[in-house]
Structure 1
């Protein structure tokens, strides 16, 4: 397995260098269409929630094997995101996705002062979304003051970082309260997860759950499951609260039990009709990273369950959906943005690529803590 992982990573590394050279400066890709990055998010929507994953992939690969072209492109990604701070109305809870893999990664690796303050700025924006009555960080904008989505469990890692570097407990306390609320209201007894829970912003009382990017109300959107696995496992890393680890394990067990229906590649929604068959490779890559995170924190007798499942899934993702041709942009096909988004089915997405690379590096023990 180590030989296969090393070979695959080397192919991805060379392919990424080729993509960096084709993209040129000041370019943040989102998805590859027909093997080519065609949309530059710097020009299209600098506040888009996925705009940090390209930089994160570059930092991870540079940590694996240093190359100045990767550093230059990662720094350009980070500088370009400064424009998002000026478009405050477009920013929401996903500032963690945007600045953890870029500015915070840069700071952790290079101790760059400007990167530090970018991360601090983003953390303060996230902290400003805290609802005192409901003990949660609100998701999205406009009239959604009571909305909380499961994706937020990754974003709160930005608050754990801010608390660590400032020695100010407020950030960590907000992250913990938010995680507790999500644990109580989003995660069901069987380990399935609701994508959206709506609260009364004045009282904090739960009002309803919504299907969001899954099939519908009461369903089980696989990428939401993956965010929960990864997010609660990371929250345990930062807090050592066993309730978070147990929650990550419960969601992981539900996720793994449902893989048998689609030959090891997660369906878009585990509770959707069996036809048409729809899969989401990005959910698989994210979940694999979460499984590997769990494996670091459980007793030795439990580690193989999570480690082996992650290894198997990552290999299946690459074997069935990996594009390792250096003449093509994008790595992982077969991703799906949302169950009912016809334009976003069987596509390449930059976050699927990022988590695939992180997972492969984790298998070799050569990643670094980005979250």
Structure 2
């Protein structure tokens, strides 16, 4: 059994080539199993659902495919990934749910497609999405508005990851307007979302007219003062990305502060609980969130890459320990009927939604992190 063999490894580097080799037939099976589905959640039966295409998770599966194509050059990955940006774009022609997460939807589809193949429609779609996101910027409060409907003054830490589409557009068009918006929101992340100890707020509410700070909301965390682990990973990875685009050391320092808090809160197996302050900090019976671990691991590798080798070793070693644990204890390698890669993700526990499930974005960031360790140089976010 593949996973039993890997259990003997004490370092990820000892088995990394084997894991990468095993990942390819796993993704090949997923292509056959998922067909045209837009996966989000797989529950106990191991079958991914099929979400609407304007849902925020719609691009993570094609993102996996583009990484596999970029790393292997195998045409069937490109063919399976090719039309996802067109399918998502068609949603703009009707009433839709697009909001702050267009970065999540177009960076792993249209923009990476353009970067790899030079596809002009991919570039056009990516720029259209960047314009849409920039248009959600509230100048009074210096934030990108989250969601739609009556949440006009809400901003969320998840948007840290969407900023990459703005910085890409600024570079692509040689137009600094997009960079200005991205940095303004990132500065609000520094001042309002990341706490002094490195923990992170999920939702901040502002007065949309005056920009006045009104308070913090619990959102997907255990409460307003809690530490939702996936939110931690969004901030960690997102601020590392902003540093890569801007070279502004403040963002790297913030990413490191969040990383230190994240690492200090990890259990012995290095896979995060869903909220580091749930149940008063007594986490023994609390669920894990493998998606938080996978995203954080990929972000830690970004931090490591930004630092001298000796200084970055802390972050790289931590990422490898997290990925080793995910590989050994949370993978579906010996369950070919299972349509996901990782299990034990937590989507939204306070709402009672998607607890102890597989999450497509957990799968994506796991693949992304492994690809980075295997030498992948291109970036989606």
- Is residue 330 from structure 1 mapped to residue 325 from structure 2 by the alignment? no
Distance 2:125 2:229 in 1: 32
- Is residue 263 from structure 1 mapped to residue 272 from structure 2 by the alignment? no
State the Cα deviation string for residues 83-131 of structure 1 (Å, max 9, x = none).
2222454110000000000000100000000111110111111011011
Aligned residue for 1:294, secondary structure, equals: helix
Distance 1:285 1:349 in 2: 11
**Partner in structure 2 of residue 205 of structure 1:** 212
Distance 2:32 2:19 in 1: 20
- Is residue 7 from structure 1 mapped to residue 18 from structure 2 by the alignment? yes
Distance 1:341 1:70 in 2: 36
Structure 1 residue 3 displacement after superposition: 4.5
Moved over 3 A (4+): 33-38
Match runs of 1:293-308 below 5 Å: 293-308=302-317
Structure 1 residue 307 displacement after superposition: 0.5
Structure 1 residues 234 and 258, CA gap change in structure 2 (3 angstroms): same
Distance 1:190 1:343 in 2: 29
Distance 1:33 1:77 in 2: 24
Distance 1:121 1:358 in 2: 25
Distance 1:277 1:36 in 2: 22
Structure 1 residue 76 displacement after superposition: 2.9
**Partner in structure 2 of residue 182 of structure 1:** 189
- Is residue 223 from structure 1 mapped to residue 233 from structure 2 by the alignment? no
**Partner in structure 2 of residue 358 of structure 1:** 368
- Unpaired segments ≥5 residues, structure 1: none
- Unpaired segments ≥5 residues, structure 2: 1-11
Distance 2:240 2:278 in 1: 26
- Provide the aligned C-alpha RMSD in A: 1.4
Structure 1 residue aligned with 2:326, among 311, 314, 317?
317
**Partner in structure 1 of residue 3 of structure 2:** none
Structure 1 residue 203 displacement after superposition: 1.1
Structure 1 residue 322 displacement after superposition: 0.5
- Is residue 22 from structure 1 mapped to residue 53 from structure 2 by the alignment? no
**Partner in structure 1 of residue 252 of structure 2:** 245
State the Cα deviation string for residues 267-318 of structure 1 (Å, max 9, x = none).
1101111253211010000000110000011233311100000000001011
Match runs of 1:19-58 below 5 Å: 19-24=30-35, 26-34=36-44, 36-41=46-51, 45-58=52-65
Q: Quick check: 108-117 or 274-283, which moved more?
A: 274-283
**Partner in structure 2 of residue 67 of structure 1:** 74
Distance 1:78 1:3 in 2: 37
TM-score calculated relative to the size of structure 2: 0.93
Q: Quick check: 26-35 or 150-159, which moved more?
A: 26-35
Q: Quick check: 168-177 or 64-73, which moved more?
A: 64-73
Structure 1 residue 15 displacement after superposition: 1.1
Distance 1:310 1:121 in 2: 34
Q: Quick check: 281-290 or 334-343, which moved more?
A: 334-343
**Partner in structure 2 of residue 345 of structure 1:** 355
TM-score calculated relative to the size of structure 1: 0.95
